[in-house]
């Protein structure tokens, strides 16, 4: 039986953030190995509509997709089908086309061959040199001058944006997990939506987690919210295509808070939930261990696109595992050392604290990402209130 807590302090944090206009709406959920012990929400599914958000509302979880896709790759490693140390191009030959962007001569990109071949592990740990436009100005400029789109519109040409560093030389958050999804598909001989359904969401009973929502679920989805000229939240609609040219392992899934907490609980429990095992204990332990091998995680990643994201201020004491951001020290009043976490661009966030024995996540669908005094502050306030209630 899961624990019981007084959630009134958390309720107050959520309601206050909506009342203050920090977020258009919010849902938060927390669980332990035995089940969910907190769920709360505040605000409308879409601004101006009567329906309120709940743990059953569909959100685009964006980069919270990454750990799900990474899990399917780790399953292939466990089965002996995938070698993390093999070059990516062994599985997807077209990856060999990708070059390193050294700079620009006027508006002409200056490209060269990478000094070494990127491995599958480089994709899992964001050390391949691939980047995202919103945290790397050179990639933003490259996409602008060449007409190569970013990954959001769903055009497969986006995968062939260049690296901005040689593989294995630095941590650079980027389209790595989109390429990892291509590797998983090549190994499985089928598409990523099928792989995830058969190996993660199906076994875990996550029937509301999928790339393309069916008609019945579309009406349950929150639109993306942005600020209008008057500063008030307004709906910006869907933002991403429902049927892209490929299923993006980096950002493509829809889920509900109640569904995704099942995935978190499986990781919290060492890879198993309700008799379904998705990973071995030792694989989960590796995911929650430093996998950067001495490559430092940046303490700050400056925004290159303020409309999309604020700068990420992590500070010292963080590293990366398999698909997870890891804090190497206890956060006072909050998560313990070696918790695993990540977030989604539309302001969703999860963490799994194996020492305390809890996992939790918080959802809104709004831009910009991690705005310093809005969504980012709310994440911290929720976490503090949750641990105070334990």
Hey, which residues are catalytic here? Answer: 63, 66, 173
Domain that holds residue 127: 7-389
What is the per-residue pLDDT for 309? 96
What is the mean pLDDT of the segment spanning 210-239? 93
**Taking Cα atoms as reference points, which of 311, 235, 237, 264 lies closest to residue 25?**
235
Q: Look at residue 60 and tell me whether its pLDDT is greater than 90.
A: yes
Let me know if residue 121 belongs to a domain.
yes
Least confident of 243-247, 266-270, 382-386: 243-247
Tokens 């999804």 — which residue? 181
The pLDDT of residue 150? 94
Residue 243: its pLDDT value, please? Answer: 87
pLDDT (average), residues 64-75: 98
Report how many domains make up the chain. Answer: 1
User: How far apart are alpha carbons 276 and 67 in whole angstroms?
Assistant: 18
CATH of the domain at 313: 3.40.710.10
pLDDT score of 1 more than 90: no
Query: Do the domain assignments include residue 83?
Result: yes
Residue 137 lies in a domain: yes
Residue 242 reports pLDDT greater than 90:
no
Q: Which residue has the higher pLDDT, 278 or 240?
A: 278
Is residue 2 included in any domain, yes or no?
no
Lowest-confidence region among 31-45, 147-161, 230-244? 230-244
Q: What is the pLDDT of residues 108-138, one digit of tens each?
A: 999 999 999 999 999 999 999 999 999 999 9
Examine the pLDDT at 160 and tell me if it is beyond 90. yes
Statement: residue 241 has pLDDT above 90: no
Pair 123, 177: CB distance under 8 Å = yes
Tell me what percent of the residues of the chain surpass a pLDDT of 70: 100
User: Is 297 a member of any domain?
Assistant: yes
Q: Regarding predicted confidence, which is higher, 40 or 243? A: 40
Residue 331 lies in a domain: yes
What are the tens digits of pLDDT across the range 78-113? 999 999 999 999 999 999 999 999 999 999 999 999
Q: Which two tokens stand for residue 279?
A: 């990973």
Owner of token pair 């497969």:
156
What are the residues whose beta carbons fall under 8 Å from the beta carbon of 87, sequence distance 6 or more?
Answer: 117, 118, 119, 120
Q: What per-residue confidence (pLDDT) applies to 228? A: 95
Average pLDDT of the chain, as a whole number:
97
pLDDT tens sequence across 338-363: 999 999 999 999 999 999 999 999 99
The CA-atom distances, in angstroms, between 321 and each of 97, 123, 297 are 27, 12, 11
Whether 271 is covered by a domain: the verdict is yes
Inside any domain, residue 304: yes
């Amino acid at each position: 039986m899961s624990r019981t807590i007084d959630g009134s302090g958390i309720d107050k944090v959520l309601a206050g953030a909506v009342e203050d206009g920090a977020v258009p709406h919010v849902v938060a959920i927390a669980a332990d190995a035995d089940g969910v012990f907190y769920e709360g929400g505040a605000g409308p599914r879409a601004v101006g509509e009567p329906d309120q958000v709940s743990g059953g509302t569909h959100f685009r979880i964006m980069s919270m997709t990454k750990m799900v896709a990474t899990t399917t790759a780790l399953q292939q490693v466990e089965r002996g089908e995938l070698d993390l140390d093999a070059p990516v191009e062994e599985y997807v030959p077209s990856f060999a086309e990708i070059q390193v962007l050294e700079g620009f001569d006027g508006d002409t990109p200056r490209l060269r061959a990478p000094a070494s071949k990127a491995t599958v592990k480089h994709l899992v740990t964001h050390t391949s040199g691939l980047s995202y436009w919103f945290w790397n100005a050179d990639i933003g400029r490259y996409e602008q001058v060449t007409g190569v789109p970013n990954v959001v519109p769903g055009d497969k040409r986006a995968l062939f944006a260049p690296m901005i560093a040689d593989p294995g030389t630095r941590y650079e958050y980027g389209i790595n997990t989109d390429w990892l999804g291509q590797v998983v598909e090549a190994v499985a001989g089928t598409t990523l939506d099928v792989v995830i359904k058969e190996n993660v969401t199906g076994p875990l009973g996550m029937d509301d987690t999928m790339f393309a929502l069916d008609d019945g679920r579309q009406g349950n989805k929150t639109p993306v919210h942005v600020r209008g000229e008057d500063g008030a939240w307004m709906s910006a609609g869907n933002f991403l295509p429902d049927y892209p040219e490929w299923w993006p392992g980096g950002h493509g899934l829809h889920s509900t808070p109640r569904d995704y907490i099942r995935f978190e609980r499986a990781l919290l429990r060492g890879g198993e939930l309700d008799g379904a095992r998705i990973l071995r204990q030792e694989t989960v332990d590796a995911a929650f261990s430093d996998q950067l091998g001495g490559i430092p995680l940046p303490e700050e990643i400056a925004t290159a696109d303020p409309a999309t994201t604020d700068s990420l201020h992590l500070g010292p004491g963080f590293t990366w595992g398999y698909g997870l951001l890891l804090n190497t020290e206890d956060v006072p009043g909050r998560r313990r050392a070696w918790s695993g976490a990540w977030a989604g661009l539309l302001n969703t966030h999860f963490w799994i604290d194996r020492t305390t024995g809890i996992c939790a996540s918080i959802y809104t669908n709004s831009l910009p990402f991690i705005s310093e005094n809005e969504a980012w502050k709310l994440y911290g306030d929720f976490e503090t209130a949750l641990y105070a209630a334990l």
